[in-house]
């Protein structure tokens, strides 16, 4: 029988986190400083588990390895390639950068590089992100970091709900305070911090470590943003906006206002409901879905339907993740 894989989130405390993951999504957060919900993950730092169905209790990593046909996965030695998070930036995140696959494999074997994307779910009126830098040469980039000339180096962008940003490996970036975002990324937890606002971690009494040598080595100079133009198609009671189609992943916003029918377009499809509620129908079986739930429609699900009032962020593997 074909069926969706519903997943339970893994919550992570962060010094910059807050309570929005509980207030907005109903997650059972471990503290008042909860920063991340890993909602689709096979990464060992936070593996999501399947809820209900024939694989109940198994982790996504286990299903990926033991049931490769569900993902059209031809290499069971590799890890599940994608990771989806919801991030509550109650305070600024550290300004950081991630390596590409080549650098990651050379310096931390077993980790992928990290290209990611942000869909802004909510944002305070004056919220912003740090996105890119102003250095035109590597020498200028290194000098601005060494002199801590952050105002000169860092670019900021105001953000509103519904905005989308594609963040390739090598991009200097950070979510600013007051931003709630859904992040679709390669399955990697490899981060090089450049600037942490001189904060002291209350757990350790120390400032968090910076990784300046690695950051200087992997940051792309000069910064050239790669921001795709979204495109929208309407069919029946649904609207699908393509946010990005990129080598590692494709990301879409899907809204449903009544019965809407879909067919398989990729080996598997990841779905997170970011607003509303409704019913998912697969193989003649109905499943209630609501804001905060995440699921995977595996390869043996050829057709499915949603009904209700729903906004979802869906994603599929790009050609480098298949």
Whole-angstrom distance, CA of residue 39 vs CA of residue 222:
34
Whole-angstrom distance, CA of residue 311 vs CA of residue 243:
14
Whole-angstrom distance, CA of residue 256 vs CA of residue 305:
10
Do 7 and 294 meet the contact criterion of CB atoms below 8 Å apart? yes
Q: Is 45 annotated as a binding residue?
A: no
Residues that are catalytic:
193
Largest CA distance in the chain: 63
Whole-angstrom distance, CA of residue 181 vs CA of residue 243:
14
Q: Per-residue DSSP letters for 211-276?
A: -HHHHHHHS-SS-----PPPEEEEETTEEEEEEEE-SSEEEEEEEESS-EEEE--SS-EEEEEEEE
Q: Is 116 annotated as a binding residue?
A: yes
Task: Map 139-166 to HEC letters.
Answer: HHHHHHHHCCCHHHHEEEEECCCCCEEE
Q: Is 202 annotated as a binding residue?
A: no
Do 4 and 50 meet the contact criterion of CB atoms below 8 Å apart? no
**Residues in binding site:** 98, 116, 173
**Residues in binding site for Zn(2+):** 98, 116, 173
């Amino acid at each position: 029988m074909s069926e969706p894989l519903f997943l339970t989130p893994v919550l992570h405390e962060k010094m910059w986190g807050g309570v929005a993951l509980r207030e907005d999504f109903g997650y059972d957060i471990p503290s008042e400083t909860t920063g991340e919900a890993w909602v689709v993950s096979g990464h060992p730092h936070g593996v999501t588990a399947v809820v209900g169905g024939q694989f109940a209790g198994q982790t996504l990593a286990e299903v990926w390895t033991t049931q490769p046909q569900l993902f059209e996965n031809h290499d069971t030695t590799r890890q599940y390639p994608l990771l989806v998070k919801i991030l509550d930036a109650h305070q600024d995140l550290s300004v950081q950068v991630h390596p590409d696959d080549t650098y990651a494999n050379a310096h931390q074997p077993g980790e992928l590089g990290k290209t990611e994307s942000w869909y802004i779910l909510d944002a305070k009126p004056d919220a912003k992100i740090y996105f890119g830098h102003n250095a035109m040469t590597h020498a200028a980039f290194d000098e601005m970091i060494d002199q801590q000339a952050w105002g000169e180096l860092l670019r900021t962008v105001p953000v509103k709900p519904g905005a989308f940003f594609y963040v390739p490996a090598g991009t200097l970036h950070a979510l600013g305070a007051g931003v709630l975002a859904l992040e679709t990324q390669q399955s990697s937890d490899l981060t090089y911090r450049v600037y942490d606002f001189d904060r002291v971690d209350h757990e350790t009494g120390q400032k968090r470590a910076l990784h300046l040598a690695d950051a200087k080595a992997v940051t792309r100079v000069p910064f050239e943003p790669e921001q795709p133009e979204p495109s929208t198609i309407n069919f029946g009671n649904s609207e699908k906006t393509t946010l990005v189609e990129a080598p590692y992943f494709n990301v879409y916003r899907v809204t449903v206002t009544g019965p809407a029918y879909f067919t398989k377009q990729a080996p598997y499809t990841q779905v997170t409901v970011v607003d509303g509620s409704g019913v998912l129908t697969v193989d003649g079986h109905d499943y209630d879905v609501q804001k905060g739930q995440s699921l995977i429609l595996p390869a043996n699900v050829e057709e499915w339907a949603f009904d209700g009032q729903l906004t979802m962020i869906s994603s599929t593997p790009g050609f480098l993740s298949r």
